[in-house]
Structure 1
Amino acid sequence: MMNSITKLFFAVFLLLLFSCDRDTPVEIVDDGIPPAKPTGLRIFRANDGEIGIEWNHNLEKDIKFYKIFRTIDPDDLYLLIDSTTAIYYFDYGLEYDSTYYYKISAVDQFGNEGVMSDSVFATPKNIFKPFPPYYIHINARNWDDSLTIKITFSPSFSTDVDYYEIHRQKNSSFLPDSGSLIGISKNYSYTDKMNLELLEKYYYRIISVDKGGLKSQASTEVSDLLLDKPKQIFPQNNESLNYFAEFKIQTTSLPADYKLVLQTNEIYGPKVELNFSSNQTNSIISVPIRNVTFEPYVDYYWRVYTYTKNNNIPNSFSELYKFTIVPGG
C-alpha cells in the first residue's frame, strides 16, 4: 500500500499534469469569414464643429480595428476618413452648418472586412463658448537693443478655435476689452513689440475665439517687466591682469536673479556658471569666484545674465567682455 507521502506526491503530479493543458493558448486561424455588421452606431456628441460616434463591440475574437466612413450626401459614396481600435471616434474641424453621415465596418486580424453598419448623422452647430488657453508662459527680453515680451501657451481644449486675442494692460486684474486688445495669434505664441518701456510691468490675458465668433473667458493673468542690462565693472574688457578672486558688476535698477557665465570661447565653452540673487539696485557688488583655476595667458570671456522668471530664458544680459591672466601683471 502507498503511504501518505507517496499519495501526496502522486496527487501533486496529477494536478500538474492536467493543469498544463489549461494554459495552452487557442490559436486563432483565418476562417475566411468576414466580421459581422457592426451594431449600435450612435451619436453621443454633436456641437461646435465636433461629432462623436460610438458603437457596440463586435463579438468575434479576431477583430483588429474598425474603419470610419463619412459623407455629406447620404446618396453619395461614403469615404474612408480614419480607423480605430476603440469603439468610439471623435471627428472635429467640421463646418457648423453641414450635416455629416457616418458608417463603420469591422476588420479582423486577417484583413477580412465586414459590411458597413447602418448610418447615423448629425450637424455640429456652434453652441458653446470655447475654453481659454492654459499653461501661459511669459518672458520679457531686453536682447540686442530690442525690447520684446514673448508669450507662449497651450491651445484651448476646444477644437474649433480660429484665433486668440492678446490683451495687455499696465494694471493687474484687468478685464479685457477693445481698449486692451493689442493683437491676435493664429498659433500658440505671441511676441509683443508695441511701445514697450524698461522697468514697466505689463500684464497679459488671452481669449480664444472660435470660427463662429464666440469668445471664451479670459485666461489666467501673467506678467513680466523689462530689466535694464547689468554692467561689468571688473575685469574690464580686453584687460590683462594678475589672478583675482572676485568679479564686480553693477546691478540692474530692480532686484533680480543673476547668472555670471565664464567661458573660454566667444561662442561656447562655459567654464563656470555662478548663480546668485541681489536686492541691491544700481549698485556695485562683488561676485566671489569658487572652484575656478585660471590658466595663464589664456583668453577668458564673461557675461552677466538677469532673470525675472523661474526658467532658463534670460531677461537681459550684458556685453561680452574678454580678459587675459598675466601672472604678476
Structure 2
Amino acid sequence: LMAQCTVGVRGERLPTSKVCFTDFMHWDSLGDPSVHIVNGVSVSGPYNDTTYYYRVRAVDIFGRLGPYSSIVSATPRDETPPQPPTDVAVEARGDTLVVYWTKVTRDRYGHPEIPGVKEYKVYRADSMTDTLGTLVASHVHQPGGDTTQVCFKDHSPDIKPEYGEKVFYYRVRTIDWHNNVSPISAAAGGYIPDTIPPDPPKNLKAEGYGNFIKLTWSKNTEPDLAGYKIYRGICGGETVKVVQVEKRTREYRPYPLHLVATIDNPDSTVYKDYGVPEGSPICYRYAVKAYDKKENISDTSRTVCEKLREGVPPPPPIIVGLKARQKAILVEWVSPPVQDLFGFIVERSSDSVHWERVSPELHFPEHVSCEDIPPVNRWAADSVFSFLDKNVEPKKLYLYRVRGADYTGNIGEPSAEMATYTFDFKGPPKPRITAVSPVSGKPFLRVTWSPAYNSSLLGFVVFRKAGTGGKYIQVSYLIKGNEFLDKKVRRGVTYWYRVQCLQANGNRSEPSDPVSGALP
C-alpha cells in the first residue's frame, strides 16, 4: 500500500500527506456484507462496536519485510441513519386510527441495519403541509421474526370530533440501536367515520288547514346537519295489534310511519303536507327525523296527530217533523253526515223575525285535538235527531229552525223554518229501489228508485250497510231526484241499500225494502 492521505481519521486536514490505509466493509450487489480475499485469507468486517487492532510493517522492493510497528486499536461507530418508513397508511377501526408501514431493516445506503432497528416515532398533524406535527408515539418497537409490517393504534379522543369528520396526517421516523434517526416519512391521512346521528328534532307541532297539514319544529344545532325527513302514518296509538290466525299468535308492532318527504335544507323548520287526499277525514300521525352530511339519521321526534280542518261550518239540517205532545212540541230533523259535527242549536220564533235558542247551550272544547274528532259522524247510525220543547203555550203558533255546529265552534246557516200547524202525519208512499248496478269503468254503485221526484216532496235520503250485519247509516244528502251515485264502495263487499222519502210538510215514508249490490 502506498496511498497518500491529506485528511486525518477525524476529517481534519493534515499539514503534509501521509501514507494511509482505509479498512471498510465490503458489500455485495444486494447491499449485504461480503468477504474479500487478502493473500488467500478471507477477510470480513470491520463491524461497528467491535474493537480491532492494527500494526504495520514495511516491504522493500525485494519483498523483504521490516519489523512491525506498535499496535494501535480502533472501534468503528454507526453514524448512518436508517431509511425512513415507506408505504405508510392509515385505517379506521371503530374509534381508533391504525397507522401501519413496512418494517425498516436497512440504512439510508441500503445496507442492513446491524444490529437492527430499535423503534419508531409517530407524529400526527392537522394538515398535510405540516411537516412534523405532534409526537404521539415515541417508542413503537420493531417487531421481530418474519413480521413485515409495523403498526401503531391511535386511541386518542382528539381524533374523533364532536361533529362530522376530520382528516389527520401521520408521519414516522426510524431510530436504530445507535440512536441514529431517519428523515421523516411521507404523510398518510385518515379519519374516523362519523357514525353519530343528530338529536331528534324538538317541539314538533301540527296545524290542519283546508287542503294541507302544516308541521313546524325547532331547528337542530349540529353544525354538520344536512336536513330533515318527514314521516306520516295513521293516528292510532303507539302500537297496532297483529293477529296471525294460521299461527294462532298475537303481537303488538310499532304503528307504521312512512317517509313522505326529505328536506335537504338544514335551516328549514316548516313543512306543508299537500299529499293528504282532499277531504280526507283521517287523523294523521307525523314525526320528523334529522340527518347529517354522512346520512346518519336521528331517532324519531315525538309524534303529533292532525287532520285537515276545512273551517267550513256544517250545512243546514232538514226539519222532518214537528209533533205536538202534551204541553210540548217535538222537533225532529236530519243532518248531512259531516265528519266534525259537534251538535245542534234549535231556535224558535213566533213571528219569523225574532228568534231565540230553546235547546241547551253548546259548550265547545277549548282545545280540539285530532283524536277528539271521530273519523265519521259519531251519530251516523241515527237517522233522525230530535229535541222536545217543553216551554210552550197551548194554542200558540211556533216556528222552528235548526243550525249545526262543528268542534271548533263554527255555526252553520239555519234550516228552513217550519211551523207547528203542520200536523199531517200521513207519510208519502214507500219508495221502491229499482236497481243497484255498477258504473261502467268506475268503482261506483248507482242506486235508482221510484216514484219519481216532484215538487210536493222535499226529496229522498239513501241509507246503506255493508254485509248482512250491522245497522243502516245515512250516506246521502237530501236528493231531489231518483238516483244516487255511491263512490265510497270497495270490491269484495256486498252493500245493502234502503231509500226514504220526505214530504214538503216534513212527514217521512217508510224505508224501502232493502236491495243489495256489489262491484264486479
Higher relative contact order (CA 8 A, sep 6+): 1
TM-score of the pair, normalised by structure 1: 0.34
Q: What is the TM-score of this pair, normalised by structure 2?
A: 0.24
Instruction: State the structure with more CA Rg.
Output: 2
